Structures are given as C-alpha cells and as structure tokens.
Amino acid sequence: MNAHTRRPQGGHMDRSQVLHFSLEGKPLVGFKGDTLASALLANGIRLIGRSFKYHRPRGFLAAGVEEPNGLFTLGSGGRTTPNVVGTTVALYDGLIAHRQNAWPSVEWDWMAINSLLAPLLSAGFYYKTFMGPCKGSWMFYEPFIRRAAGLGRARHIKDPDRYDTRHAHTDVAVIGAGPAGLAAALQAGRRGARVTLIEQDSLLGGCLLSESSPALTEWRQQVMAELASLPRVKILTHTTALGLYDGHTLALVERRDASAADPTRGQAREVVITLRTRALILATGAIERPLVFGNNDLPGVMLHSAVHTYSERFALNLGSRILCATNNNSVYASACALAQHGAEVIIADSRPHIDQALMESARAVQIRVLTDAQLISAQGRRHVRAATLAVAGQSRPTTLPCDLLTLSGGWNPTVHLSSHTGIAPVYRAAVDAFVPGRYASGHYGAGAIHGCYALPEVIREGATAGQDAAMQAGYPQPVDVIAIPAVSTVPYAFELPRTAYPRTRQKAFVDFQTDVTTQDLTIAHEEGFVSVEHLKRYTTLGMGTDQGKTSNVNGIQHMAALRDVPIPSAGTTTFRPPYTPVSIGALAGRRVGQHFRPIRRSPLHDWHATHGGVFTEAGPWLRVWYYQWAGSSVESAYLEEMRVVRQGVGLSDVSSLGKIDIQGPDAAEFLNRVYVNGFAKLPIGKARYGVMLNDDGTVLDDGTTARFSDTQYFMTTTTAQAVEVMSRLEFLTQQVWPELAVNVTSLSDQWAGLCIAGPKARAVLQNAFPTLDSSDAAIPYMGAREASLGEVPLRLLRLSFSGELAYELYVPSEYGQALWEHLLVAGAHLGIQPYGLEALASLRIEKGHVAGLELDHRNTLDDLGLGKMASRDKAYIGRALSQRPGLKAMDRWSLVGLRLTTTGSPLRGGAVLFAKDEPLTGHGRGYITSVTWSTELNQYIALALYQGGLRHEGEEIVCAYPLKNEYTRATIVSPVFIDPSGARLHV
C-alpha cells in the first residue's frame, strides 16, 4: 500500500481487516470498508481504463454511482460480470478485477490510434459513413468498429450463482440514507410506521461520511443507534432503488458481494425486491457537475466532491498540489480540509466576487484564491501536471502546475426516480438545476433532490417529510421532532455558466463514458439538431451505462448556449429505469431453466415418468409424447400405439382437458346461449358435442357437455382453451346474464381424465366394473353415466376423439392413478397399452377432428366444416357477426384433407399450398395444419386450410416447404379419412 497516498489514521475503513484482491492478476491489498476504487487509488493505481471511442487514458472522475470511466470486469469463468462501476463495489477478499477496452493493456493501448482518427469519429460518424450510400457497408465495418469501440464482454458460460426475487410491503419507503433520508426515516419510525430505508452504499450517512465535523459525526451515530432500536424500521444497505412505478411500487436490487453469497447453501448474490409502500420519501441527494474545458478527461482531473470523499472517508491524499476549479461556494469548506491534510491548495473561482467569509476561511489555511478565473485546458500525458487558466486582469493565460485538478460546476439533483413516474424535471434558476416538476400524491422529497444543500435545513426537511409520510400512511400520532445538529453553513451561491465554453484546441469532454465532446455538440447543432432527445441519439450523449449522470445537464447547457435560448427552452431528458445498471441474472431471479415458467403436470405424471413415458411440452403442460414400450423414438412409437388403438385397446391420459361443472335451474338455458347448437333438450344421461363462438363470430372452442341431472352439467373443453373458456363463462354469468340462476366452477385440477379407446374398450370396461351394465343399450354412443370405483365417484362418457369405440372416465385427481392401474389390470389379457399425445393427435387427424392447430380464432364454423351444427332456431353468442359477408365468402381458407401423391419427401406441417400450375410465389392458397402417417391408409395424410376448401376436392395441389427445398404434390380429399359413416362408434 502506498504510504504516501493513504494517511495512517482516519476514514471509515476497518483497518484491522486486510482484504486481498487482484487487478489483472497482480495481487493487491485493501481494507474492509474500501471500495474497489479507493483500494486501487490507495495502491497508487490511477490509470483505470481507456475511453470508449478514442482510447484515451482515463482515471476515476467520481467516488459514487455517477462514475463514467471506472468500469471493470469482475470475477472469472461463469461468475464474470462486465462493466461494473469500481466506485460502487465494496471491496471483498478474493475480488478479481480486470480493466476494460484496451489491447494489449491499459498502459499501452494500440487502439489509442483512434485518437489520431478523431476527426473521423465525430458526431454522426457511424450514421454518415456506414449507413450509406453503399448498402452493406455497415455489415462490413461493424465487427471492426465493435472491437475498437466498446465496453466489457459477457461470457457464454453458465453463471453458477443464485439470484432471487422478494416481495415486500412497508408503510414508508425512504430512498437514500444521507442526512435528509436518515432524518426522514427516524421521524417516520418514531411515529410507529413500518419504515424501509434504502441505501445503495455499504454505509449509512451519504455526504456525512465525508464530514469531519464532530457535531455531524455524533448526530449520525445517534440517529443510526435510534433507528437500530426501532423494530419496525428495516434498513437495506447495498440496495439500489432501480425504478419507481405506479401504485407506490419500487423495484430494488440488493447486491451482496460475491464472497458472501454461497449458491450451494441457497444464498443469493443479488435479490430483486418489489416493494409496495403507502408513502415514499425521495432523499436521493445530488451529483456534482464537472466543468468542461480542454483535456478535462486526464487522469488526475476529478470531481471535487469525489476528492473530498476519498480524503475524508478513505483517508487518501490524492495530490500534494491541488487546483480546485469551481463556480460555486460548495468547495470552500472541503478545500480547507484538504489544505489541513497538508496539500498545497489553490482555488480558481470563475466568479469575480466571492463571499468575504469564504475568502477568509481559505486564507486562514494558506489557500490562494484566484477570482474571475476560467479553466482553459489541462496538461499532462498520462496524468495531469498543470492547468492553464484565463484570469481576469492578466493579458495572457496563466499555467499553474498541479498533480490533482478538482472540478465543481454546481450540482445536479438526483431526480431520476421522480422522473420514472412521468413527471418531467423542471429547471429551477435559483439553484441552476433540474428538480422534480412536482411530487406525486403520497411522494415526498427532502434535501438536495430539490436544491436544498444547507445541512441544518436538509435535516429539517427530512424530518418534515418523515412526519408527512407517516401521516399519509396512517400514523397520525404526534411525536417529538428529532434533534437538529448545530452547524453553520454558508448559503449556496453559484455563477451561471458563461454563454459558451472557452475555446480550446484540445478535446473538451461533455460525456466521458461515450466520448462526446463540445465539438460533437457543435456539429450536431450546425446540422440542425435542436431537440435534446435527437441530440442524444445523434451524438450518443448520455447513452452510456451511466445514463449521463455527469453529462446530461452540461450537454443541455451547451446546447442552450449554441441556440442562444434559456436552459428551460433547450429541454430536459427523460430518465428511465434502471437508475444504475442491473444484471440480467438479478432480473431473471429463479426463473431460469426448468423454472422459466410454471409447468403443469397431470395427476398421473409420476406413473408416466416411471413407466417409460417420454414427455413433451404442450402449452404449459408436460404431457406424455409416447411410451417406450412402443419404440425408442417417437417416429416408430406413435405408429405402434395407433395400431393398438385401432386393432385392440389403448389407454391415454386426458387430464389436461378443461373440466367445468355447471349447475343451476337455468343451466340449460345458459348452455343453449353459449353453444351454437341446441342444448335445451339434452336428456339426462347424454352428452353432446358443442361448439362456441367468439362475439365476432369466429370459433372459440369445441368440446362436449354431459347432463347428469335437471340442474347439473359437466363440460369439457380443449386443453388449449381451458383457461379462456372458463373465464368467458364467468364473464357471462357475472356481468352479462346475472339474471340467470347458474354457477360455473372449474374442476380441471380436481378431476383426472382417462380415455379407453379401441374395439376392445367395452370388454375392458366390463372387466373393470363387473356390476356396471356397459352394454351398448345401457351406455349408447354419447351416453353419460355416474358410477363408482369402490367409494370413489366416477363419471363415464361414451364419446370418441380417435374414431374408435371409446370411453372417457373422470375421477377425483387423487384417484386417477388408482383407476389407471385398475384399467391396465382389467385390460391386460386384451393387450391394453398406454398411448401418448403423438398417437392421440394422429388418430384424430385420420378421423378429421379439428384441434388447436386448426382452431386459430380466425375460422368460422363453415371453414371447419361445422356449419351444419349451427341452430337456426335460437340466438347464440357470435351469431350476428358470423353472418358478416366476409365470413360467408366462398373462397375462404377452409378445412380439407390431403393425401400425398408423390413419393420421396413427406408432407410437412406449415407447408404452403399452391394450385398445380401456378407460380410458387407469395403466400399461396393455404397451409398444412397437421400431418401424420396413416397406419390405416399406409400413406402420409394431412389436414389443411385451403382457399375454397372442398370445392376443390379431387384436385392435385403443390405443397411447398422451401426451408427444406421440398415441393410435393397432394390430392384434396375429405378430411374424414376413415370410417366416414361412423360405424365404428356405434358397435
């Protein structure tokens, strides 16, 4: 550790805890309480990166979240995180850091040659040069540009760390734990409110951490002690408020250092917290504004407040000859502190007249004050060694040697969160700053966020905000107002920037991170960019990962000067979440891999998994695709399963179907209004196939509904539409026909569904339920029975999706597996086997039953060949709009069957259909929706939607699948490929 840099005493580090870390593999040490930035500076490392475009050497400008230059890649392997701001990283043992954007090294960077190309890299350079006139030029140049101009790189290795999500509630959220936030939290806490105090830093105190005044130090300690004693006050450090949203909701990210979170013990490295609050207090402070002059990006040129923080909080002497350039009062007290630590300090104040008391305080510690002094440029190669100023009364510029140049161009209140709510910041001339336009209802602000900088006043504002917010949140009991420390301050005063920046041949940076200079802004102005939003995009001002925290206001001021308009007329920019960059891992939380979205499983899932079931995703469902008894791949297995159903008997799990209980005296009337076909006269003990339409006349869903008593019905829906149909029925009963005495209840999760299908299905049923009369007379086609398996109620419907004799059986979910196993035993001697989704789908294609692939919410009943079902004698939902001329046109895409006529390539789902002799261009006349190999017909068959539908029956058409360069021919046939008379259903 460089003894010349770090003083032997002082600061907020814990010097008893020495931490080891590395930069580019070089071992270094720091203390607990250091940031990566303060530890590097303590080790004498000043050069921390190369700039984005020109690869100029850069050092730290700041000490907090506003840092534009100090970006590092942290960690290694899957734990690598690029673009981490070094000033915000709490140092931990074992930290691995690398500097970015330099090759082969930051000290000797080949890409610095970009500096010589600087005239080419000005505003709009990329647009003008690579976007035209020659098409494709961007494609050619892009990889080179991306390599030369860039930030850190993400890795393609899986991140082993764990990230989490938390939901939280509070009465009063306080964002920022500086003097205003501490006062607000304590005042609200005294009222008994649940308070959540959110601080991005590792320590509470904000600017108080850089104060050496005993009164303030003591005040901070007392407030922290009382906060800790209040059980309803929750303090979140290392936690950033990323965004403020409607409904008093905050998105926070809590960052734990990589060494403290062990994923193998379930500990998360970062947690995104959604905090809902009744009231919130913005005590987000302000960020110092740099000055703009030539070479203002040299290492050793820093924000004055940052130098003060490094000096007081981290006990670092960063310079021995310090030049402080300012246009306001805020630097004097801290400059005196720097002088007291032994530095030779000169203040260059751009104002001609300065408060006498300030002048005297500076002189008392041998600080020389130059008035009416304007910085022109800084000199030095890798570090500042002198600065040139224009001083009033001197005919030529003065050059002063210095090894640290500090800047204070005033303050930018941190208005980001208030801006997230859609309230634009407004320029307040009295403090030369943008402040929140107003506070939304239930929001309060305190301190520097609206330009209040004098400490006793800041604390008083905080206490008032805490009082008001607690009241708003329902805690009206008055309590003692917290103590206000007795400190004297000089009122904040400043000079507005001069009309334009001093002319210099050197680059004067406005945005350090994206390398935007005054020259770029001037070019944009000359090319006619007047809107700040356009200016940003053209020059990339404020478009870096720091979102222009140090650059936006300077850019707006420069633009206003060029246009010769006041600052409010030049506009402001919109801030959007996140306030600081957030890792994708934190946003994803646990929603990765299998947990990306919820998975629905059948109650029989475990049986399938242990009996050779191979699963596939069907919407949110995991369903059995095929069983391994039938083959080792789906291509062979589903054919075997189909054969079993067509020739013997198969058993399948249809639990994913929607199941809805409909009860009430008006249930029949209700169903009669919902379905296009008549349901009023459905007898008890019978089921009926039904179709329902959307209001606009297109088909919503199909399914069957069975009647079990005068007032009780049992509806099934398709798997795909189960959720929507249920919601629709609830809408109709609650909002449209509240006068109907009917209730609907979802049974989808409560009942398991099984299907026995095949010519031997009845024999299985007889064996399984010896006491049940399952003859054709007792349970005819479309018959519905209630039965029982022991004590367990059972519903039995004789209906068929596959075209064979088939029964659907429903039992409470917890008995699904018992019934399944019972049926397998009962059918063992008949060769019963389970079959999966692929076979189920293929069986229905042979039979021409439409399913989700055909039902795309655009087809009409006629399109699907169901037109005859619609009743002419009653009203039903969607009836009026189904009569629209466009839906009755003859050339609509309608359901047809296709038989492959050529050999070689198979039919493919999604193939585009064309008439035989027309050119194969455009969108064609339809497409194939479902394809299967037919075991009955021994050829590929398909269902398709084709323009004009079955009016083209018998025609040969072309099926184009250009992705595989396949062009096959098929003949249009009836979609019912097998058993068109339905003889197999009535055995």
Partner 1 sequence: MLRIPCPHCGLRDYTEFQYGGDASKIRPVHTEECLAPWHDHVFLFDNPKGVHREYWQHRLGCRQWLIIDRHTATNVIEPTTRDPTNSDLMNSDLMNTGRQP
Judged by the rule CB under 8 A, the positions of this chain that interact with partner 1 are: 169, 245-249, 274, 276, 278, 422, 673, 695-696, 727, 730-731, 734-738, 875, 877, 879-881, 883-884
State in angstroms the smallest separation of the CB of 734 from partner 1.
5
CB 793 within 8 A of CB 810: no
Which residues fall within 8 angstroms of residue 782, CB to CB, at 6 or more apart?
A: 686, 687, 688, 689, 797, 798, 799
State in angstroms the smallest separation of the CB of 737 from partner 1.
7
Total residue count of the chain as it appears in this document: 987
Integer Cα distance of 575 and 424 in angstroms: 9
Complete DSSP assignment for 432-493: TEEE-S---TTEEE-GGGGT---HHHHHHHHHHHHHHHHHHTT-----PPPP------PPP-
3-class secondary structure, 8: coil
State in angstroms the smallest separation of the CB of 669 from partner 1.
10
Nearer to partner 1, 701 or 808 (CB): 701
Q: For 227, left (φ over 0), alpha (ψ -120 to 50), or beta? A: alpha
Nearer to partner 1, 274 or 489 (CB): 274
Is the previous residue joined to 104 through a cis bond, with omega within 30 degrees of 0? yes
Integer Cα distance of 461 and 447 in angstroms: 6
Nearer to partner 1, 463 or 693 (CB): 693
Nearer to partner 1, 389 or 729 (CB): 729
Burial of 759 (0-12, 13-18, 19+ CB in 10 A): middle
Nearer to partner 1, 247 or 770 (CB): 247
Q: Look up residue 487 and give its two tokens.
A: 């400190």
Q: What type of residue is 972?
A: I
Nearer to partner 1, 2 or 883 (CB): 883
Integer Cα distance of 721 and 200 in angstroms: 46
Integer Cα distance of 403 and 367 in angstroms: 16
Nearer to partner 1, 248 or 760 (CB): 248
Q: Look up residue 619 and give its two tokens.
A: 């919407």
Strands 321-326 and 404-408: parallel
Integer Cα distance of 685 and 129 in angstroms: 77
State in angstroms the smallest separation of the CB of 473 from partner 1.
10
Nearer to partner 1, 881 or 978 (CB): 881
Integer Cα distance of 769 and 763 in angstroms: 10
Nearer to partner 1, 738 or 904 (CB): 738
State in angstroms the smallest separation of the CB of 664 from partner 1.
13
Nearer to partner 1, 429 or 880 (CB): 880
State in angstroms the smallest separation of the CB of 719 from partner 1.
18
State in angstroms the smallest separation of the CB of 654 from partner 1.
24
Which residues fall within 8 angstroms of residue 315, CB to CB, at 6 or more apart?
A: 6, 7, 9, 10, 11, 13
Q: Tell me the helices (H) and strands (E) count for the chain, helix number first.
A: 24, 48
Q: Report the chain's terminal Cα–Cα distance, integer Å.
A: 93
Nearer to partner 1, 177 or 250 (CB): 250
Nearer to partner 1, 259 or 745 (CB): 745
Integer Cα distance of 734 and 686 in angstroms: 28
Beta bridge partners, 22, equal 27, 96
State in angstroms the smallest separation of the CB of 748 from partner 1.
13
Integer Cα distance of 59 and 191 in angstroms: 46
State in angstroms the smallest separation of the CB of 373 from partner 1.
49
Nearer to partner 1, 357 or 736 (CB): 736
Which residues fall within 8 angstroms of residue 976, CB to CB, at 6 or more apart?
A: 847, 848, 897
The secondary element (H helix, E strand) that includes residue 345 is strand 344-349
Nearer to partner 1, 93 or 696 (CB): 696
Nearer to partner 1, 630 or 877 (CB): 877
State in angstroms the smallest separation of the CB of 884 from partner 1.
7
State in angstroms the smallest separation of the CB of 122 from partner 1.
40
CA distances to 56, 141, 369, 554, 823 from 502, rounded to whole Å, are 22, 36, 20, 14, 91
State in angstroms the smallest separation of the CB of 180 from partner 1.
26
State in angstroms the smallest separation of the CB of 680 from partner 1.
14
| Pick from 127, 128, 124, 130: nearest CA to 144 | 130
State in angstroms the smallest separation of the CB of 923 from partner 1.
25
Nearer to partner 1, 47 or 692 (CB): 692
State in angstroms the smallest separation of the CB of 99 from partner 1.
39
State in angstroms the smallest separation of the CB of 728 from partner 1.
10
Nearer to partner 1, 343 or 660 (CB): 660
Give me the residue label for tokens 């700039």.
Answer: 51
DSSP state of 331: G
Integer Cα distance of 49 and 67 in angstroms: 12
| Pick from 103, 97, 55, 57: nearest CA to 74 | 97
CA distances to 536, 537, 947 from 544, rounded to whole Å, are 11, 11, 52
Give me the residue label for tokens 């002082």.
Answer: 10
Q: For 277, left (φ over 0), alpha (ψ -120 to 50), or beta? A: beta
State in angstroms the smallest separation of the CB of 167 from partner 1.
9
Nearer to partner 1, 245 or 689 (CB): 245
State in angstroms the smallest separation of the CB of 395 from partner 1.
59
Dihedral angle sign, alpha carbons of residues 743, 746, 751, 755: positive
| Pick from 915, 88, 887: nearest CA to 545 | 88
